[in-house]
Chains A and B, each alone.
Chain A
């Protein structure tokens, strides 16, 4: 490239100009990294040449702590992993230990657990989709969705007294039974969600042309990449791979419910883009609503059983190990629990976290993007740092 003006007289040449790449440090305190993620971006102007994510700012030795408390004492720790969807975490752990101990909870409790888990899925996706809009500059859908999340949290508070970290799913049961009138309140909530919030979200955010332009060709993750990096949950379904533990290995009686696996369609661009992942989350909220209606119907026909009936006084599973995975809102959440059969503490608890694997594909997808797309990509992977770092 040559300039028309001869700059020699100013004492510099165009060739001498410094064109190094610049390191831009994004996070750990940054409004769009969804917690304390730190990204080291190698930028060339607006284009990102490479990215190195740094995790571990929220590491709290969760797995080591678990070896020093008894089996029931682990549950509050699991709540603090994915703090946006705490119910899903404790459910996975409770089911894993129940499998180890050979406890089978009553059908009534299974339905209760499904209701709570699906409500939590709606609440969690409300945050995921809402903050995704906020990352792209649309503030209003976030507050509309948060309004509905608050109602779900109100239901949880009514049930167990806590709004964020519940300690609800116990080994062999749940901490509190659903209160009287819970079903009606839930149906009211769902009616409003289906009639108002969901169409509003589709109109205002997902159907918006700027939103589509910003997301539809960004962060494309092919099905092969998604499988090889072990993406799970809405991330892999966004790439068009129908993988859902609720269908593949049903737990809590999920096989009784009629619901569809939402898949990315690639309507506006290549399959597996940020748009697809986000759309899957939005549609999953509607599917969860469907499951909830069925579960509430089933609940109305059931006899209540005591919720603490099978809760052991102090859990002491036989010697052995177990791996159990559930479909948490952010994907496949697996618990590997080892018992030595001699003490009341687990010998080892290892968590396979969906956000961690989603984070591992991040540097692959982020190469060659623009800075604004990096934000779009983080939001579409929907990571919660508490679960990555544990």
Chain B
């Protein structure tokens, strides 16, 4: 807010003479509106991107008709959804039926408040930021259960029950891995967490405490993906089993709201992951942090978040869906023990003597090893693909 205030003042010197309430309204309103536009118009872009990516992976074109290369397709879809009749099936609990998509959206959009886009561009730098994110994001579960119950439909009920079980289960490993970051930084404020990763690629938490934090990153991202109900964890919607799961009875704008919330949640999870493990708005190299005094922070955060969103879409169009019991197995018997071990190990590492730069292991062994591991993984993927291709040819 002070940032916008000073920016406006420098552009329009008469601004200081305005009454205090008007100054506050304008200085807080401009970033607020920008943030809202980012949230509300973002999904238009994500849906278009998803459809184009899916088209690319499936050897087809994707939307091509509305506008050049179909760029206006999602806009047209949104307008269609807005003008469609909202149908209330017989026997629905109207109040809950209407309230449910609103609550889901509240849960999906409120975490944006604390996301830091640069050192100054942040809605509110709460000192309990991380706690706030995980608490508010869980609100969506309530909305999903309300939707499933109010719809008076067995499929919706199944979807809601699955959603509740899934999100609650995956919340635990996710929060446990958050703890590792919090222990290292000693703060829940997202801005402080980003600050602790400054100074270049090697200080990002993904590359610290090898091999602990890379694993933590994977656990958190997997659990986060499960929390926003994306394939391979999309059993609450499970198109081929439950038709559409909890939102099977929703139409028109209510359906659009669920859709909006899903994409917003994806961005929240990706942005949170970037803040925690990929240095948030910090550039990979300090020299890239700003151009001529103009901070590139928002660019870096959005770029990292969108990269992770792309990975989510990639997985969605590649993998089949897990079954309910397998899903629970992954959460309780795989991710949760790993998360517990990570907490203990990080706690142990932190008690060791540290230099001013942090844990000496990081600087000389940790991040080179992490990079080497990433390179090795990439190599293994390529080699496995080749090997598999040969096997297939032998089989055929």
The residues in A between 148 and 189 inclusive whose CB is less than 8 angstroms from any CB of B are: none
B351 within 8 A of A: no
Q: Are B59 and A143 in contact (CB under 8 A)?
A: yes
B389 within 8 A of A: yes
Convert A319-330 into 0s and 1s, putting 1 for each residue whose CB lies closer than 8 angstroms to a CB of B.
Answer: 000000000000
Report B213 CB to chain A, min CB distance, Å.
Answer: 25
Most buried by A among B58, B60, B324, B396: B396
Chain B residue nearest in CB terms to A136: B320
The residues in A between 122 and 157 inclusive whose CB is less than 8 angstroms from any CB of B are: 133-140, 143-144, 147
Report B257 CB to chain A, min CB distance, Å.
Answer: 23
Convert A226-241 into 0s and 1s, putting 1 for each residue whose CB lies closer than 8 angstroms to a CB of B.
Answer: 0000000000000000
Convert B357-396 into 0s and 1s, putting 1 for each residue whose CB lies closer than 8 angstroms to a CB of A.
Answer: 0000000000000000000000000000100110011011
Q: Are B240 and A137 in contact (CB under 8 A)?
A: yes
B77 within 8 A of A: no
Chain B residue nearest in CB terms to A41: B154
Q: Are B319 and A138 in contact (CB under 8 A)?
A: yes
Q: Are A138 and B389 in contact (CB under 8 A)?
A: no
Report A63 CB to chain B, min CB distance, Å.
Answer: 32
Q: Are A375 and B241 in contact (CB under 8 A)?
A: yes
Given A136-B321, A140-B317, A207 and B154 contact (CB-CB distance below 8 Å): no
Count residues on chain B whose CB falls below 8 Å from chain A CBs: 35
The residues in B between 58 and 74 inclusive whose CB is less than 8 angstroms from any CB of A are: 58-60
A208 within 8 A of B: yes
Q: Are B154 and A202 in contact (CB under 8 A)?
A: no
B318 within 8 A of A: yes
Complex partner residue of B241 from A139, A198, A372, CB under 8 angstroms: A372
Q: Are A203 and B240 in contact (CB under 8 A)?
A: no
Report A23 CB to chain B, min CB distance, Å.
Answer: 8
Q: How far, in whole Å, are A24 and B54 apart by their CA atoms in the complex?
A: 33
B-side contacts of A31, CB under 8 Å: 239-240, 243
The residues in A between 169 and 227 inclusive whose CB is less than 8 angstroms from any CB of B are: 194, 198-199, 202-205, 207-208, 210-211, 213-214
Complex partner residue of B318 from A204, A286, A372, CB under 8 angstroms: A204
Given A194-B396, A371-B158, A372-B235, A30 and B320 contact (CB-CB distance below 8 Å): no
B-side contacts of A283, CB under 8 Å: 395-396
Q: Are B240 and A214 in contact (CB under 8 A)?
A: no
Complex partner residue of B320 from A137, A147, A194, CB under 8 angstroms: A137
Q: Are B323 and A370 in contact (CB under 8 A)?
A: yes
A373 within 8 A of B: yes
The number of inter-chain residue pairs (CB within 8 angstroms) is 100
Judged by DSSP, the binding face of A is helix
Complex partner residue of A203 from B319, B321, B392, CB under 8 angstroms: B392
A-side contacts of B60, CB under 8 Å: 143
A271 within 8 A of B: no
Q: Are A137 and B321 in contact (CB under 8 A)?
A: yes
B-side contacts of A94, CB under 8 Å: none
A-side contacts of B158, CB under 8 Å: 24, 46, 371
A377 within 8 A of B: no
Report B100 CB to chain A, min CB distance, Å.
Answer: 22
A-side contacts of B240, CB under 8 Å: 31-32, 134-137, 375
Q: Are B318 and A137 in contact (CB under 8 A)?
A: no
Convert B192-233 into 0s and 1s, putting 1 for each residue whose CB lies closer than 8 angstroms to a CB of A.
Answer: 000000000000000000000000000000000000000110
Complex partner residue of A370 from B59, B154, B239, B325, CB under 8 angstroms: B325
Convert B307-340 into 0s and 1s, putting 1 for each residue whose CB lies closer than 8 angstroms to a CB of A.
Answer: 0000000000111111111100000000000000
B57 within 8 A of A: yes
B160 within 8 A of A: no
A69 within 8 A of B: no
The residues in A between 32 and 59 inclusive whose CB is less than 8 angstroms from any CB of B are: 32, 46
Q: Are B393 and A199 in contact (CB under 8 A)?
A: yes
A364 within 8 A of B: no
Q: Are B238 and A137 in contact (CB under 8 A)?
A: yes
B-side contacts of A375, CB under 8 Å: 240-241
A-side contacts of B243, CB under 8 Å: 30-31
B234 within 8 A of A: yes
A22 within 8 A of B: yes
B-side contacts of A370, CB under 8 Å: 323-325
Report B268 CB to chain A, min CB distance, Å.
Answer: 23
Q: Are B392 and A210 in contact (CB under 8 A)?
A: no
Closest 3 CB pairs of A and B: A137-B321, A138-B320, A143-B58
Extra pairs beyond A24-B155, A32-B240 (7, CB < 8 Å) = A24-B158, A31-B240, A144-B58, A199-B393, A202-B392, A372-B241, A372-B324
Contact sample, A vs B, 29 pairs, CB 8 Å cutoff? A24-B154, A31-B243, A32-B240, A46-B158, A46-B324, A133-B320, A136-B320, A137-B234, A137-B320, A140-B54, A140-B58, A140-B317, A198-B392, A198-B396, A202-B388, A202-B392, A203-B388, A203-B389, A208-B319, A208-B320, A210-B319, A210-B322, A211-B320, A214-B320, A214-B321, A370-B323, A371-B242, A372-B321, A372-B323
